[in-house]
Chain A
Amino acid sequence: MFDLEKAISQWLRSFRKYRAFDHGSVREMELHLRDHIDDLIADGISEKEAFETAVKEFGDIKQMAFDEFQTQKRKPTITSLIQTAMFKNYSLITLRSMMKNPVSSLINLFGLSIAIGLSVFAYAFAQWVYSTDQFHEFKDEVHLITYSANSDGNLQVYGQTPRPLGEMLKQDFPQIQKVCRLEDRNVVVKYEDNVYHERVRFTDHEFLEMFTFPLKWGNAGSLADINSIILSEEISVKYFGDQNPVGLDILLKFDETRSKVFKITGVAEKFPVAKTIAFGFLINFQNLSAVDQDYNFHDWTKLVNATFIQIKDPQHLHEISEGMEKYKLIQNEATGHRMAISSFGLEPFATLHKNSDDIKNHITRSSSSNYSSIVYLVCVAGFILLLSCINYINIAIVSAAKRLKELGIRKTIGASKANIIIQFLTENIVITLFALVLGLALGMTLFIPWFEGMWGFSMGFSLARGKVWAFLAAIVIITGLISGSYPAFYISKFQVTSILKGSLKFGRKNTLTKAFLGVQLVVATIFITLSVAFTLNTNYLKKRSWGYENREVIYVAVQDQAAFEKMQAAMAQDPNVISVSGSSHHVGRKHKTTIIEFPDRQFEVNELAVGDNYVQTLGLTIKSGRGFNSDSESDKRAVLVNETFVKNMTLQQPIGQVFRIDSTQFEIIGVVRDFHSYNFAEKVNPTILRVAGKEDYAFLSMRITKGTEHDVYKNAQSQWVQLYPEIPFNGGYQEDAWGAYYETIDNYAEVWTLFASIAIILAILGLYGLVKLNVEGRIREFSIKKVLGAGLPGIVDGICRQYVLLLAIAITIGAPTSYFLVKMIFGMAYAYHMPLTFEVILLGIVVLIVAIIFTIGTQIRKVMISNPVEGLRVE
């Protein structure tokens, strides 16, 4: 017998195969079928036939399902609305669980935001470095002319150029649009009562066309006029305040006898911060003949500081550098093949700041150390980010134990694995977003201003640039995925039944958690060791001797012999002055690069032409041989050399050796212990000291009684003002000769200490979170132990056992790694550093262990003072 109801429900079941139909649609079609069957039966057909006809006329369900599905897909707004609602829900859950576990949340938030803050800082720094010189419109067309020559057996590139080369290039190569030469001189600038020592740049008027330095006031073309001068904004403010000085006259004193009045015809706008080339005063190149009547623009044996050319079409570069071969012959003939030039080169200005470290005597500032700093910063920010991600993963896994019921219920009421993953990833992204806001705030209000304040410049970081946001988005996504995906997948795998039965035990014995903690400890060891090493080394460098009595010497720059003699007479009255000496160069202030010739080879050395008692005045130590005789006439052909000189020239018996400078023969009479002319970042160069003629004296040095530095300095200043009211006093404590060097190394130590502090705080926080959760999870175990009479040792053993091995492994890996890292970084960063001993590493490890003991100690204390009854009452 045909059962209509059964047939209909069977027919309906076939709809359920297709997910396209919701309950309403199925019901709708059921009613359709029933109506149809009713009508057919009314026409007098049997139930069975009516059903079959109705079904047949209803048609293919599969095709229908397909159409229906297309309809749903076309308008996905409903589903996406549901999804947003879910995300909102998940975010709320996140906030609630954050509130419920403030410690873990704070650890996560703190770590991630510090890491993001550091990344923002690293980004700002990199952006600043990469923008160096990029504001010049013709940066890709302008090239610096360089030459290579053989120096001490190596091919060395120099940034200077033979004097006539610029003009020759302009004549010989129509492909070159513009040429400008640069030369700098120290002068005294006077405007009304303002008198200062300044550095003036001599250049061709094309300079302001080739380099993009827009003028605030005045006219750039005026540089073609030999009587015009253009100022930087800084100089303009220094002399004239906010007033527009264009049209005013200013006096430049080149030396005692030569001076010239210039008309101010322009003031440049403030220079961008990231630049390698700038100026204070610009005057026409031809003025060099006003400085020095003998200045010969066509002398191939002399050099100018720099020559830049502008070439529109890069295709011509090759022709030009090939065409420059002919100058080589002229040059080498003129110099008699001394330091023979082997080739000329062109260095693009756009990348000059990166490469200029390899070019000797160039005028631009190099930023290659900044490029290595970027590498360090990126490594540090990356490691800190890794540390904070590891913290997040560990805490997420362990604290999931507290949320097992939530998960179990979610899964029971039908959450799929994907739902759980999405929930956890959402939580993670919410936290990361929080961290982003905090991190951005940290970066912009703490790290960047701190760094800028320390080095005294502005990186010009702004959120207004689109790339910053792309970077931040990338950081959030990467951080979110790294820190979120493992916990999400791990947790979503749990079986509902075992969760609800309570038989699931995890987190406590998770090997991955341990491995992560191990990585953190290794990284922390490395950071701490680095920081300790940098701090110790800074102290070491502060104590390191300069090789002479830098603390008891005061120097004064003098313009000529007369000034020297007058000052010498005046200062000799001062009872605190032990000895006075003149010199034409001065340690830490000025030296000359000289080529010395042995019969078979040539060397480039630093030369100091000094007075006969200069060695005693500065407290240089004679190691062997003798110093200069006070009757300097007899020692005119004698030189003292330093230890590096002896070592580099491989002289077995230095005393009595002879060499030539400009065909004059000199004899070595003594060896001076190595001394640092410039700061410890620079290697001591082979140096010679020879006797200077009194007419060449440019410095007066005084050895003074200890503790009277300030009085003598004041006295020298007032003596000078009486003698030369027109010329500004230019002198100083020898101690200050290195400028901000000590501040700089202090800064390095400070930066590394900050990084190390962050690393150790993160590692400790992570450890704290893990130990805390571990102890909380085992509170019953500890309570039972206490009830059964376990004392401190038992509890300590229970808590610490698992971490001791981990710490041991971390130190075994971390200690040697940090030793090699410190060695490598010291090798790169310092020319001189303290001897690296294992104590440095040991000190780092001790700091780490103390911090860890303290962290675990807090938890042990908590267990010790807890009442075991309370612990056992826990559900």
Chain B
Amino acid sequence: MISKNLTAATTRPIILSILKQGSSYGYLIIKKIKEMSGGRMEFSDGMLYPVLHRLEKDGLIQSNWTVSDDTRPRKYYEITEAGKQALIEEKEQWQQVHAVLEKLWNVKPSTS
């Protein structure tokens, strides 16, 4: 099980990454996260929305309500150019963290 704190830290890059693959709405985004993590991320559905709203206010994503006849109205979120830029930065940072941990864990115990 992935801890709450770590989950909270990752929601931003995860949401941006999901939206980069195509616009989506809240329920679908959460469903995707749950599927991909195999339910191992400790995640309450409600926590997603403040993050989405924050991202929208920061201008990284934008939203619009879509109404069609056969389904319920949905609030679709779409990544902006600024959002893509932010994702690249996030990606770099996560890769750096990853690289550090990788190095630390791959070093063999000292033989001296």
Chain A residues in contact with chain B, CB under 8 A?
A: 24-25, 28-29, 31-32, 34-36, 39, 54, 57-61, 63-64, 67-68, 70-71, 74-75
Contacts and interface: CB of A to CB of B under 8 A. Distances in A.
Contacts of A75: 57
Given A25-B53, A68-B53, A71-B53, A58 B75 contact: no
Contacts of A64: 46-47, 49-50
B43 to A, nearest CB: 8
Contact of A61 (B26, B46, B72): B46
B50 A59 contact: no
B45 interface: yes
A25 B47 CA distance: 13
Contacts of B51: 67
Contacts of B46: 29, 58-61, 63-64
Majority secondary structure of chain B interface residues (helix, strand, loop or mixed): helix
7 contacts: A32-B26, A58-B44, A59-B47, A68-B53, A70-B50, A74-B54, A74-B57
A35 B75 CA distance: 13
Nearest to B31: A39
Nearest to A63: B47
B22 interface: no
Interface string B26-46: 110011000000000000111
B44 A71 contact: no
B73 interface: yes
Given A58-B45, A60-B44, A31 B50 contact: no
Interface residues of B, number: 19
Interface string B1-27: 000000000000000000000000111
Given A58-B46, A71-B50, A71-B57, 7 more contacts: A28-B49, A32-B27, A35-B27, A58-B45, A59-B47, A71-B53, A74-B57
Nearest to A57: B45
A36 B27 contact: yes
B41 to A, nearest CB: 12
Interface string B75-86: 100000000000
Contacts of A61: 46
Interface in B62-76: 72-75
Nearest to B74: A31
Contact of B75 (A24, A36, A68, A70): A24
A34 B44 contact: no
9 tightest A-B CB contacts, nearest first: A59-B44, A67-B50, A35-B27, A59-B46, A71-B54, A68-B50, A58-B45, A64-B46, A58-B46
Contacts of B45: 32, 36, 54, 57-59
Contact of B49 (A34, A68, A70): A68
A341 B45 CA distance: 96
A57 B34 CA distance: 11
Nearest to B52: A28
A71 B50 CA distance: 7
A751 B62 CA distance: 68
Nearest to B29: A32
A32 B49 CA distance: 10
Contacts of A29: 26, 46, 49
Contact of A31 (B27, B30, B54, B57): B27
Contacts of A32: 26-27, 30, 45, 49
Contact of A34 (B25, B30, B31, B72): B72
Nearest to A24: B75
A495 B19 CA distance: 53
Nearest to A59: B44
A67 B54 CA distance: 9
Contacts of B30: 32
A67 B47 contact: yes
B49 A35 contact: no
A361 to B, nearest CB: 77
A32 B48 CA distance: 11
